[in-house]
Amino acid sequence: MKKRVLVADKIHSGAVKMMENAGLEVIVNFDITHEALKSRVSEFDALIVRSRTKVTRDIIEAGKRLALIARSGVGLDNVDLEAAEERGIRVVNSPEASSISVAELTIGAMISLMRNIHTADRSMKEGKWLKKELEGRELKGKTLGIIGLGRIGQEVARRAIVFQMKILAYDILEERRLEAEKMGVEFVGTSRDALEKLLRESDVITLHVPYQPETAYMIGAKEISLMKNKAYILNVARGGILDEKALYEALKNGKIAGAALDCYEEEPPSNLHFAELPNLLCTPHLGSATQEALIANSNIIAEKVIDFFKKQMQKIN
């Protein structure tokens, strides 16, 4: 009997074909509601989701024959991992697929911040010609502090090097030192002192750590106070790593020159007082929202689903 896969969120059609060609029966229902999913999930061996579908305990318990949950993209915050583990359901994702898209958005946001592109666009459309007021700064010769030198942090570093920036990197993993050195990046270390050195010496700081209890509000009022006056900060990682209230104050009182946010403590944010800050560039969690990342995520997930059932068959035979 064919293994049945339910695709509950949008993936690329080529990935659906790949799974069908591998002998899986694939049912696509991109807009399925929570209730409909709960009533139908018992018919499937695998469930594919992105961030829209919440794979909660009730869904997992209703999925009597579920063997695999595949989350296309980074993060597993929308899957109840404990419930899945209790039922022996394997959970996979594709964190490797969006690194380039997120790194490119980071570089784009950094350039926009330092050249006031977002402000210039808004003011032109309001009928203003702010040529003198919007004097910017070059990236060349500036120090970029990267917090979290994993996949995305390293892609950002590679691109920033081309702009002739000096790069400092902080990470909790000592193994990153060697990777940093190979790229020509100065690894400041793994300690609190190292983080503070990076905060003090960087002209631009960008966050690329996961959201975890240890990284919650990793950058708050104290850390911002250590930053250079008129430095910039970007959070293209996850909401809650950077304390939004502290950021608001620092932007308002001019301690920092500008900030870019792609991720928020609440999404979409209900606190629109951000809108009054001209030195804040906001994007609606667009990090991996590119055609290329959608295709890469979909293909990686399809391969992982195919591989999972192939291995399952090999075990039986």
Ligand X SMILES: NC(=O)c1ccc[n+]([C@@H]2O[C@H](COP(=O)([O-])OP(=O)(O)OC[C@H]3O[C@@H](n4cnc5c(N)ncnc54)[C@H](O)[C@@H]3O)[C@@H](O)[C@H]2O)c1
Closest among 254, 278, 230 to 112, alpha carbons compared: 278
What are the phi and psi torsion angles at 86 (to 5°)? -55, -35
Side-by-side strand order, sheet with 4-7: 25-28, 4-7, 46-49, 68-71, 90-93
Task: Write the interaction track for ligand X spanning residues 191-230; mark x where CB under 6 A is met and - where it is not.
Answer: -----------------xxxx--xx---------------
Least distance between ligand X and beta carbon 238 (Å): 4
Residue 135: both structure tokens together: 């004097």
- Say whether residue 145 binds ligand X (CB under 6 A): no
Nearer to ligand X among residue 97 and residue 306 (C-beta): 97
Q: What Å distances lie between residue 160 and 68, 166, 168, 170, 292, CA to CA?
A: 39, 8, 11, 16, 21
Residue 126: both structure tokens together: 């309001």
Q: Residues touching ligand X: how many (CB under 6 A)?
A: 30
- Say whether residue 158 binds ligand X (CB under 6 A): no
Residue tagged active-site, from 86, 96, 267, 292: 267
Task: Write the interaction track for ligand X spanning residues 252-291; mark x where CB under 6 A is met and - where it is not.
Answer: ----------xx---------------------x-xx---
What is the distance between the alpha carbons of residues 27 and 292, in angstroms, rounded to a whole number? Answer: 23
- Say whether residue 149 binds ligand X (CB under 6 A): yes
- Residue numbers annotated as active site: 238, 267, 285
Which stretches of the chain bind ligand X, using CB under 6 A? Answer: 74-75, 95, 98-99, 102, 148-153, 171-173, 176, 208-211, 214-215, 236-238, 262-263, 285, 287-288
